Structure 1
Amino acid sequence: MLINNDRGQSTDLVDLVKALERSVTPMGLRFQDIYHSYADTSALRGITLEAKDGEILCLLGRSGCGKSTLLNLAAGILPVQAGSIALGGTPLASQQHNPPPEKRSVGLVFQDSALFPHLTVAQNIGFGLRDRPSRQAVVNDLLEQIGLSGLGERFPHTLSGGQQQRVAVARALAPAPQVLLMDEPFASIDISLRRQLREETRRLVKARDCATILVTHDPEEALEIADRIAVMEEGRITQCGTGRELHAEPASLFVGLMAGSGAVLSATRMNGIAKTRFGRFEAQDLSFFTPPRNDEPVDILIRPHCAALQNDPSGLRITDVRHTGRSQIVTLDDMDSDSLLLELDPEPVWFPGDRVLIRTNGKPWPAFTC
């Protein structure tokens, strides 16, 4: 049934038109077939990726995989060598067109906050609003949102590291950019404050409608703050999805480790049996994401709390046990004294010297061809 609004339009029809408009008009920040090199070193190899309006997208990967390079291309710090970047459906940068950072509707937050030391907190936040009549109101509103009301006349060096980074985020958001770019923003913050700062930043950013891209090498950080995660390896996007999707169906061993950590067992599969130095495992114990052939080496990922131990007098020897309260971290040695660390449930309690076999605890372990 169609219901007319005040202007005589059907609300169902209005909603449909808006949905169609969104579907045909690309929004957010989009990278299309991006390549980039430093001298003879290839940093990015055909990156196509989109951060949607209102979304926090994390680029997750080891140092040197190309995360910061991609961010710097969007910011205008580096010129686009090949491919293109669009913002809100409008071309932003390409090989032929590379506007400087100040000509882009982009907010930047760096690892070290990069605040202007000679400006007050309020002046830092309002730096991009110099000529706006609403400047003071915007600054005061942001000071309140980051919990620093009354500290506007202080200088950056009088603030803690966490407070400085809050100011850096507020400064980047003050001009209402279409996209916010954050490069390892919490790496220099004391570990005890990182989670709180991540939560505050997510709340602050999600209150806007800008696309946000955050670079990190910390899987926990990505899983806690991001709507979607793009895992990068050697200049490529290995997989992009929600934390739940990456955990449930990782495209590679690296993605599996990034989305949930764990111990890795090297194995050879023969007639449905995976043979490792720490035991033999049946096919039903494993979940292969790429079908292996006989004699083909595979890597088995044993995630925390996904294994159980069984007493066996001729089994592996436990050499160390640590109790965290939430789990036991058990070290096992094989006959050649190679070690394997497993994170297990806190019960039953194991002790150094126990002899055991490794078993699944009901869920198959992810396995990948090498």
Structure 2
Amino acid sequence: MSTELEVHNLWHEFKSNKNNNWVLKDINFTLKAGELIGLLGPSGCGKTTLLRLIAGFEKPKCGLIKRNGQIISNNHYLLSPERRQIGMVFQDYALFPHLNVWDNVCFGINKNEKSIKRAKWLLNLLDIYEFKNRYPHELSGGQSQRVALARALAPGTSLVLLDEPFCSLDVEVRSRLRSELSSVLKSCSASAILVTHDPHEALAICDRVAVLRSGEIQQYSTPFEMVLNPSNDFIGQFVLQKNILPIQYIDDSCSTCIGKLSVPSDMSISSKSVCMFDQNAIRIKPCLNGLFTVISKEYRINHYVYTVINESLKLKSEMSLDTSLSIGDKCKVEAIHEKNFLVLPQNIKCKF
């Protein structure tokens, strides 16, 4: 499989100063032909900036970007966006309000027979042909997003950049478009990079996911590998929605605020080690002298998710619907002995 895009040692900042406030730090990844890659991370981590660098809207301070083996960006050279043959779908769709659907999709393409045929095919593929004479203000959010995707693919580009394309859509439309995206890209023989802050979205549809935090890639792997072997506690907490518990090594044993961990004797842990576990691996019980306090209670159809806090430590617990704890109640947290707990970064499976 050929390589569509390569990003090597990419660094970027908006204002050069002595403090070196890097927005992106040493970014490295590749995109293979036909792949859908997710750029996942919290707000402000550099996802959209990286997308803008790939699109050619910004010049990197250091490093380079290659497309099909050719350099398109480095700190001395910037191939203009219109010459990169990269499609872009913006968060707010960015449709031209004075043009109808057909003219929006055909904007910027050669009006030859082949291009017109492709544009019609895309409108049919995305199920928006019947709206070709409508204007953007006459479209729903889902329809507008389909038009934006058709416009990005119309020139025959083999790479599309999607900047949080589903974030403003309702749950049902979002789910439907998300599930259709891979098949649409495959039909067009296109690769794509999807920016999102939604871990479920990234893990559900992407072939590989790059997780960013403060401008650095924390892990770049398949969703399966990420779930099986998270690289650090940030992946566990942000991506996998797990609980993270600090570990203290006291009197030759691994202690936590909810009990002692049974770590194999031939394994060693460090002062930076943490314990990661599912929300259903602990239970909470009312206790007047408990270390924890309930701060939230969320209804999830067949169970509640409680959030409890002890000083700055927050834990989440899935509890049955007959649980009577309320917000503000004192409680204790107990580990369920049958459940597995993972010590990171050593990846040691253990129990309480």
1:363 to 306, 325, 340: 340
Question: Contact 1:84 / 1:91 at 8 angstroms: preserved in 2?
Answer: yes
Q: Are 1:123 and 2:103 an aligned pair?
A: yes
Q: Are 1:168 and 2:148 an aligned pair?
A: yes
Q: Are 1:212 and 2:185 an aligned pair?
A: no
What's the offset of the Cα at 1:331? 4.7
What's the offset of the Cα at 1:227? 0.7
What's the offset of the Cα at 1:311? 7.5
1:1-370 correspondence to structure 2 within 5 Å: 22=1, 27-39=3-15, 40=17, 41-270=21-250, 273-283=253-263, 292-293=269-270, 296-305=271-280, 307-309=281-283, 322-332=298-308, 340-344=315-319, 346=320, 350-352=323-325, 357-368=334-345
Q: Spell out, residue by residue over 1:2-35, the C-alpha distance to the aligned partner (whole angstroms, 9 max, x if none).
A: xxxxxxxxxxxxxxxxxxxx5xxx5211111111
Please give the root-mean-square deviation of Cα atoms over the aligned residues, in Å: 2.8
Letter in 2 for 1:121: V
Unaligned stretches of 5+ in structure 1?
1-21
What's the offset of the Cα at 1:213? 0.8
Question: Contact 1:128 / 1:174 at 8 angstroms: preserved in 2?
Answer: no
What's the offset of the Cα at 1:326? 4.1
What's the offset of the Cα at 1:145? 1.3
- Greater alpha carbon shift after TM alignment, 311-320 vs 72-81: 311-320
What's the offset of the Cα at 1:267? 2.9
Percent identity (aligned): 32
Q: For the structure 1 residues 351 and 136, does the alpha-carbon distance in structure 2 shift closer, same or farther, using more than 3 Å as the test?
A: same
Question: Contact 1:54 / 1:208 at 8 angstroms: preserved in 2?
Answer: no
What's the offset of the Cα at 1:333? 6.5
Tell which structure's C-alpha radius of gyration is larger: 1
Letter in 2 for 1:235: G
What's the offset of the Cα at 1:337? 11
Question: Contact 1:178 / 1:211 at 8 angstroms: preserved in 2?
Answer: yes
Q: Spell out, residue by residue over 1:205-245, the C-alpha distance to the aligned partner (whole angstroms, 9 max, x if none).
A: 13233221111111111112211001112222111001111
How high is the TM-score relative to the length of structure 1? 0.81
CA distance in 2, matches of 1:258, 1:102: 36
Letter in 2 for 1:351: S
How high is the TM-score relative to the length of structure 2? 0.84
What's the offset of the Cα at 1:368? 4.4
SS of structure 2 residue aligned to 1:129: coil
Query: How many residue pairs get matched?
Result: 334
Letter in 2 for 1:357: E
CA distance in 2, matches of 1:94, 1:351: 60
What's the offset of the Cα at 1:315? 8.9
CA distance in 2, matches of 1:338, 1:108: 41
CA distance in 1, matches of 2:161, 2:342: 36
Question: Contact 2:9 / 2:64 at 8 angstroms: preserved in 1?
Answer: yes
Letter in 2 for 1:367: L
CA distance in 2, matches of 1:276, 1:147: 55
SS of structure 2 residue aligned to 1:150: helix
SS of structure 1 residue aligned to 2:130: coil
Q: Spell out, residue by residue over 1:306-332, the C-alpha distance to the aligned partner (whole angstroms, 9 max, x if none).
A: x04498989958857655234432355
Letter in 2 for 1:78: E
CA distance in 2, matches of 1:238, 1:328: 31
Question: Contact 1:315 / 1:357 at 8 angstroms: preserved in 2?
Answer: no
Letter in 1 for 2:120: N
Q: For the structure 1 residues 339 and 37, does the alpha-carbon distance in structure 2 shift closer, same or farther, using more than 3 Å as the test?
A: closer
Q: Spell out, residue by residue over 1:56-76, the C-alpha distance to the aligned partner (whole angstroms, 9 max, x if none).
A: 111111222221111111111
Question: Contact 2:45 / 2:213 at 8 angstroms: preserved in 1?
Answer: yes
Letter in 1 for 2:344: A
CA distance in 1, matches of 2:22, 2:199: 24
Letter in 1 for 2:335: I
CA distance in 2, matches of 1:95, 1:312: 60
SS of structure 2 residue aligned to 1:128: coil
Question: Contact 1:269 / 1:298 at 8 angstroms: preserved in 2?
Answer: no
Q: For the structure 1 residues 360 and 90, does the alpha-carbon distance in structure 2 shift closer, same or farther, using more than 3 Å as the test?
A: farther
Q: Spell out, residue by residue over 1:258-309, the C-alpha distance to the aligned partner (whole angstroms, 9 max, x if none).
A: 331022223313356332333333226xxx9xx523xx2543222233x044
Question: Contact 1:169 / 1:201 at 8 angstroms: preserved in 2?
Answer: no
CA distance in 1, matches of 2:333, 2:217: 40
Letter in 1 for 2:235: V
